[in-house]
Amino acid sequence: MWRFFDVQNTTNLTQLFMSAFRIFKQTSTKMTENAKPLVFNIIAECQTTKARTSKMILPHGEVDTPVFMPVGTQGTLKGMLPEQLEEMGLQIMLANTYHLGTRPGPKILEKAGGLHKFMNWNRNLLTDSGGFQMVSLLELAEITEEGVKFQSLNKTKGEVMLTPEHSIEIQNAIGADIIMQLDDVVQTTVPDKERIALSVESTNMHCRTTRWLDRALKVHKNPNTQNIFPIVQGTLHEDLRRISAKDLTQRVVNGYAIGGLSGGESKDEFWKIVHLCTDLLPKDKPRYLMGVGFAIDLVVCSALGVDMFDCVFPTRTARFGCALTMTGQLNLRKARFAKDFQPIDEDCTCNTCKRYTRAFLHGIVTELPVACHLLTEHNLAFQLRLMKSIRDSVCEQQFPAFVQKFVFDLYPDKNYPSWVKDALTAVNIKLL
Amino acid sequence: MKFFVRSSTKRCPRLGVLRCTEGKSEVEIETPVVLLHTQGGHIPHITHEVFKLVSKEPQILQIPLVSMHSFKDTMTYYNGTISEFIGSKNSLTCLTLHDPSNLTKQGHHTRDKIPIWTKRGKVLYDADMYMDVVESFKPNMYYLLSDGDTNKTSPQKRIAKAVEQTVVFNKQCLERHRKSEVLKKMFVMAPIAGGYCLKSREHCIDRALFIDANEIDGFLIDGLHNNGPEVEFLPFEEIKSILEFSVDKLPPEKLCSVQGCWSPLNVIKLVQCGIDMFDTSYCHILTERSAAMTFQIDTSDENNDYEINLRHHSLAEDFTPIIDGCECLACKKYTRAYIHHLLTVQELLAPVLIMIHNIHHYLRFFRKIRQCIANDTLDEFENFIAGRYENYQRKTTSSVEDKIISENIGDNI
């Protein structure tokens, strides 16, 4: 009988890790170059699906994958102290280049000795390129070969151009362990294939995103302490994704991101592209699926072979009074919780579940800042626990059973969404 | 819970101890003490888990009923105390009516009822409804219901009404207290109303003392103000005679408390009069205006600071802590520049860090006060803080003047 909620049993797990490591040693990358800022050691691979678990070594410590990275947009994670996050076992978080580049700005970050020091976070950081925010926050963004031209929020500056070089320059000042190239994002809902093709396709041999990668790699100042990840583009067109992946895998990088998804496309289209991209990308390097963080998506995409995820959802929904559980979400604002003296989740070991009842949280959510801190802590603990369950079950060769039970618990009426069924069938899991 | 005063001389700074025995464990809290002001059972912005990083010493949480009113029905179904319900079962709790950090709306009186202003509007409490809450919350300490809606400008009619109501409330609440097994163990404090009228104060005290002395463990000098940030700037001279008169009349072996965001200098002056208990609402109002306490507690230090506003643009590149050498988490690990950044981008962590520092500093301030009483050096400390405060006032007024002057010059150009 396997217990995927058992988090205490660490000795056994370590042994399991070790034996699994011996079995699958052949697939792992050897630590040959000392200067390499990313070592990706695969510990176990699922025999049924494409899921794998690894220990990734970055300049600010280890990261166990598959990993969920919460988003600390402006150099802070929604009221949580880094001391609390360390205590919870968080190994990596994300920060946003666009926001940090605006305030406090690269000069102050450089003077502070980088974002790790500025925000007192000694573990790993990942920054995005800033391009996504421009396209999503600023309607007036215009993308040219040179970069992304947009209207500055600061009216005095007028038009500002974010180039691949400038993005790396800011990310060098921030100093995150993993940084992203500026990519040419096209909304998945854009039907214009010619426009998308421009993002990826060969005009001069290879696509714009690839050309921008080359420009980024050229100006990168800290290749020994910061990893640039390129981003596979091509929206929902398989042929374009193939070209993009082929071009990018010819460059010397330590990991890859799958971009341009999670932008409003249907789930039926979404999973197929993820499935394709993990097939196209090399096995011995981490794959990062950007902007994905719902529990079901994490489980399915882990099965499809994704190693890293990020999303604002768990922390954002906490601020609206929503608590995550293995069987779905609880909206604690609902009147039915007023006399409910249970914790959010009996099985959760976070401080919020140890100390508080749903009734108490019901009375303070969306009214007091502490309520937001308490739900943020719980939701982060939930994401961490879910990822640990995924990793442990992969290690124990129980991943398919874990997925079956997880999906069944979430949909006890077996009314499974078709995309979940299809995606899992594609990696040989038949639902209960 | 019992109060023991070390010296029973009237109207002088005094040391005492609040002793709470529950089962086998005994907790002792030294006075003058500062209660931790809470909203919804938490120090604003600070979860109990985070507070552990500030202090591990036993504390008393001040629970304003107005911030917990929404739990009134829930608590009648809950099988525990308010400290368990708010997630801090090892804390001691003290229930009070109003929130000292928020201005209490005046007026709206109804016979035998007191209005409180919750997020969802006005709620009228009479003695019975109030005692129902005390009974279901089961705090360690509580105040009898009172009408404290008076201040310097209150007319005689309002003062008389406040005293009359308070006397009636005291009587009604105590009747309930005597009958209830749950309430018997609690530390009870009687509020003294009467605004700025000595005669009314005297009348209220006489009536309170009429009660069996064994039933009342302490008093609250109520009705000095209507709470909120303005209390910080109340000139001590205005309350001095009322305070001295009241404290003088009260039995010296009982605990004597005030509520509100008094400035540090006025806290010392109140201690000099013999007040034993305060609250941390001052930390809250400072944090809300993005200010951190920087007044020196160690008198050997040369620093002339009193308070800094972390929003000030001059701190954007100041990579030093709020106070160099301060042992709080915010000062040990974070810089002024970082907190300034958090404030400019309106992040939740800014008030968390400022509050961690302010609470830490304020608790230290009270420790220093107790030390000074023990060494008989409270006068020197008062002078020292007064000097710092004057300096700070001079500096802020002159910088305001400078600004006005430079603006005028700008206009002329």
Percent over 70 (pLDDT), chain B: 95
Closest CA to B68 of B50, B86, B88, B53: B86
Does A293 carry a binding-site annotation? no
Residues of A recognised as catalytic: 128, 310
Which chain A residue is nearest to residue B74, measuring alpha carbons? A339
- Average pLDDT (A27-32) is 41
pLDDT reading at A131 higher than 50:
yes
Q: How far apart are CA A326 and CA A322, in angstroms?
A: 13
* B78–A108 C-beta distance less than 8 A: no
Q: Using a CB-CB distance cutoff of 8 angstroms, which residues of chain A are in contact with residue B70?
A: 363
* A104–B316 C-beta distance less than 8 A: yes
| B86/chain A closest Cα distance in angstroms | 7
| A75/chain B closest Cα distance in angstroms | 8
Q: Using a CB-CB distance cutoff of 8 angstroms, which residues of chain B are in contact with residue A82?
A: 333
For residue A92, the cross-strand partners are A124
How high is the pLDDT of residue A138? Answer: 60
Q: How confident is the model at residue B411 (pLDDT cuts 50, 70, 90)?
A: very low
- Average pLDDT (B264-280) is 97
Answer whether A127's CB lies under 8 Å from A64's CB.
no
Does B331 carry a binding-site annotation? yes
Does A132 carry a binding-site annotation? yes
pLDDT reading at B407 higher than 70:
no
Give me the amino acid identity at B324: D
Which chain A residue is nearest to residue B330, measuring alpha carbons? A81
How high is the pLDDT of residue A153? Answer: 61
Which region among A8-12, A203-207, A226-230 has the lowest average model confidence (pLDDT)? A8-12
- Average pLDDT (B391-410) is 71
Q: Does A153 touch chain B (CB under 8 A)?
A: no
Selecting from A103, A359, A377 the residue whose C-beta is nearest the C-beta of B341 gives A103
Domains of chain A are 40-311 (3.20.20.105), 313-397 (no CATH)
* A120–B338 C-beta distance less than 8 A: yes
Q: Using a CB-CB distance cutoff of 8 angstroms, which residues of chain A are in contact with residue B87?
A: 355-356, 360
Selecting from A99, A103, A368 the residue whose C-beta is nearest the C-beta of B42 gives A368
The strand pair at B33-37 and B60-64 is best described as: parallel
- Average pLDDT (A364-388) is 97
The strand pair at B25-31 and B16-22 is best described as: antiparallel
* B41–A360 C-beta distance less than 8 A: yes
Q: How far apart are CA A272 and CA A427, in angstroms?
A: 11
Q: Where are the alpha helices (DSSP H) in A396-417?
A: 399-410
Q: How confident is the model at residue A38 (pLDDT cuts 50, 70, 90)?
A: very high
Which region among A118-127, A153-162, A392-401, B269-278 has the lowest average model confidence (pLDDT)? A153-162
How high is the pLDDT of residue A155? Answer: 55
Structure tokens at B169: 């409330």
Structure tokens at B30: 């030294």
Average pLDDT, rounded, for chain A:
89
Interface test with B, best of A353, A360, A372 (most B CBs within 10 A): A360
Put simply, the chain A residues between 283 and 322 with a CB less than 8 A from any chain B CB are none
Interface test with A, best of B50, B331, B341 (most A CBs within 10 A): B341
Better-predicted residue by pLDDT, A370 or B298: A370
* One-letter-per-residue 3-state SS of chain B: CEEEECCCCCCCCCCEEEEEEECCEEEEEEECEEEEECECCECCCCCHHHHCCCCCCCCEEEEEHHHHHHHHHHHHHCCCCHHHHCCCCCCEEEEECCCCCCCCCCCCCECCEEEEEECCEEEEECHHHHHHHHHHHCCCEEECCCCCCCCCCCCHHHHHHHHHHHHHHHHHHHHHHHHCHHHHCCEEEEEECCCCCHHHHHHHHHHHHCCCCCCCCEEEECCCCCCCHHHHHCCHHHHHHHHHHHHHHCCCCCEEECCCCCCHHHHHHHHHHCCCEEECHHHHHHHHCCEEECCCCCCCCCCCCCEEECCCHHHCCCCCCCCCCCCCHHHHHCCHHHHHHHHHCCCCHHHHHHHHHHHHHHHHHHHHHHHHHHHCCHHHHHHHHHHHHHHHHHHHHHHHHHHHHHHHHHHHC
For Cα atoms B37, B38, B39, give the angle at the middle one, nearest 5 degrees. 140
Answer whether B3's CB lies under 8 Å from B218's CB.
yes
No. of H helices and E strands in chain A? 18, 17
Better-predicted residue by pLDDT, A369 or A196: A369
* A373–B317 C-beta distance less than 8 A: no
| A340/chain B closest Cα distance in angstroms | 9
Q: Using a CB-CB distance cutoff of 8 angstroms, which residues of chain A are in contact with residue B341?
A: 74-75, 103-104, 108, 118
Put simply, the chain A residues between 66 and 95 with a CB less than 8 A from any chain B CB are 74-76, 78-84
Highest mean pLDDT among A128-137, A154-163, B1-10, B202-211: B202-211
Beta strands in A31-87 (DSSP E): 39-45, 52-58, 61-65, 67-70
Q: Using a CB-CB distance cutoff of 8 angstroms, which residues of chain B are in contact with residue A339?
A: 74, 77
- Average pLDDT (A280-288) is 98
CA B374 vs CA B235, B251, B269, B379: distances in Å = 27, 22, 16, 12
pLDDT reading at B8 higher than 80:
no
Q: Does A111 touch chain B (CB under 8 A)?
A: yes
How high is the pLDDT of residue B396? Answer: 85
> In this predicted model, what pLDDT tens digit does every residue of B55-69 receive, in sequence order?
999 999 999 999 999
Q: How far apart are CA A363 and CA A373, in angstroms?
A: 15
pLDDT reading at A235 higher than 50:
yes
| B90/chain A closest Cα distance in angstroms | 11
Q: How confident is the model at residue A185 (pLDDT cuts 50, 70, 90)?
A: confident
| B348/chain A closest Cα distance in angstroms | 5
Interface test with A, best of B342, B349, B355 (most A CBs within 10 A): B349
Q: Does B124 touch chain A (CB under 8 A)?
A: no
pLDDT reading at B246 higher than 60:
yes
How high is the pLDDT of residue A33? Answer: 44
Q: Using a CB-CB distance cutoff of 8 angstroms, which residues of chain A are in contact with residue B137?
A: none
- Average pLDDT (B190-212) is 94
> In this predicted model, what pLDDT tens digit does every residue of B136-193 receive, in sequence order?
999 999 999 999 999 999 999 999 999 999 999 999 999 999 999 999 989 999 999 9
Q: Does B87 touch chain A (CB under 8 A)?
A: yes
Interface test with A, best of B338, B340, B343, B346 (most A CBs within 10 A): B338
Put simply, the chain A residues between 215 and 274 with a CB less than 8 A from any chain B CB are none
Closest CA to A288 of A177, A187, A195: A177
| B341/chain A closest Cα distance in angstroms | 6
> In this predicted model, what pLDDT tens digit does every residue of B333-371 receive, in sequence order?
999 999 999 999 999 999 999 999 999 999 999 999 999
Domains of chain B are 2-287 (3.20.20.105), 295-403 (no CATH)
How high is the pLDDT of residue A190? Answer: 67
